[in-house]
Structure 1
Amino acid sequence: MFERVKELCQLRGISINNLEEALGYSKNTLYRLKYQNAGADKLETIADYFNVSVDYLLGRSDSKQYPSGDEKIDLAFTLEHLLSDIIEEDELTYYGKPATKEQKDRVRIALETVIQMNKMDSDNK
């Protein structure tokens, strides 16, 4: 289950720690999924957060439920958290290999530029 949650976090552009914060879990709660099963309440909460089925999280199904289009994603929130993950954590990969410092720096600069451009746009509205 941990690998599925980790994959969903990567697709959403957040870290496991960000997910724990968003769900109100204490640090390392989700890392324990490597060794122990989650209770029904946690399974349901995580599945609802990612809009997937509990069966998907448990590995009983490979079919995900994708958002219907009604779900809104906050661009500023996503970019800020993605940027902090790149700076603070070692989870960024490039074609499956750990990203080099230079690759991380390029992504960081690009994200900072996008964040600044969006801030200027929103300030001008």
Structure 2
Amino acid sequence: MGLVEKIKKLCDEQNITFAELERRIGISNGQIRRWDKVSPKNDNLLKVAEHFNVSLDYLNNRTKIRSVVDQNCEEKETHTIAAHIKDDVTEDEMDDIKKYIEFLKSKRH
């Protein structure tokens, strides 16, 4: 899934159009559709990520995890974070994710 497709999916989840997203985050009209052909400016991509509370890695298909664990938040259950992961994660990948979450939790204490 490409960047524009990923953003479209996120927009659909919030029932907003690209135009509405562009207005909300303060970028020019029609900008997002152009990202199929031209790479977006980093600050514009960051605005999109912040709006949807997802990581840049998620937008760029480098991870299936939508957001980064907030180091200042209360400890979250693994299943809450796993809810943000696509259905096509294998059992081995899920085990690795759980181990990584436990590792992050241990570093906070």
Instruction: Determine if the alignment matches structure 1 residue 4 to structure 2 residue 22.
Output: no
Overall identity of the aligned pairs, in %: 31
CA RMSD of aligned residues (A): 1.6
Equivalent position of 1:50 in the other structure: 52
Given the two structures, how large is their TM-score scaled by the length of structure 1? 0.50
Letter of the structure 2 residue corresponding to residue 56 of structure 1 = Y
Find the counterpart in structure 2 of residue 60 from structure 1.
62
Alignment of 1:32-51 (within 5 A): 32-51=34-53
Deviation digits for residues 33-83 of structure 1 (CA, Å, limit 9, x no counterpart):
1111112111111100000000011111111129x9xxxxxxxxxxxxxxx
Unaligned runs of 5+ in 2: 71-109
Moved over 4 A (4+): none
* Structure 1: tracts of 5 or more residues without a match: 69-125
Aligned length: 67
**More helix, by proportion:** 1
1:19 corresponds to which residue? Answer: 21
Aligned counterparts of 1:39 and 1:27: Cα–Cα separation in 2: 15
